[in-house]
Structure 1
């Protein structure tokens, strides 16, 4: 377990440093905004070989407050059950966030993660996210492309 937590910390730190080093400052989102995103896991600790498994996701976040959003989405797995997701994001810093998501369906799970947003333009964003899936004890690194709608 300690090895998994150490990997999660190192992966999160690498993603934050990578995206944080190239970020431009923009105001984030206003209450009442929507953030629509789609992405895929680049790395997962439960993959035994190249191209044996892929996980893709789509998500809609509704910003109830400037720093808090509620989300719903869908996860597509090539080697497992597809799942519906529901969760939240909290932005303690302007571009960094932490999130929690419930993955509902066969092989239900709880995903806890952290991420960083790089603003390509005011409305278009690139996000790097590290998630730890509690039930499966799996760590994943995801890259997403997102669009902000006000």
Structure 2
């Protein structure tokens, strides 16, 4: 008896596209939930590998961090929990630059969605800056994700 009234838009990617233009910004905003899910999938594997290399945290903390990765990168902990979460994670990471970059870029994407009522030029410049940071992080999964973002149409 139930009917589907709306379905999520399916993203269209153009492999040869390398420029972040106004159409790309609109496509990213239209598919922002899919973009965040893709970011979570992209980062999750690399995040888990990085945790495996961290020798200074105990097994219990490692288990908690691995278990919480979907919740943290899935966007469920945005907003008010962000500050408390970052403090707790900073203590556990104990200086792991890679893990801090993952979390920082995740929060950067969330901040762009919160300001989606800005002009197209502002959103484009924010996304370009985010892509630049991801590409210059030196982390391959983030670099690949940035390239993928530029392919939305």
State the TM-score, normalized to the length of structure 1: 0.26
Q: Rg bigger for which structure?
A: 2
Give the structure with the higher percent helix. Answer: 2
| Alignment TM-score, normalising by the size of structure 2 | 0.26
> Which structure shows the higher strand fraction?
1
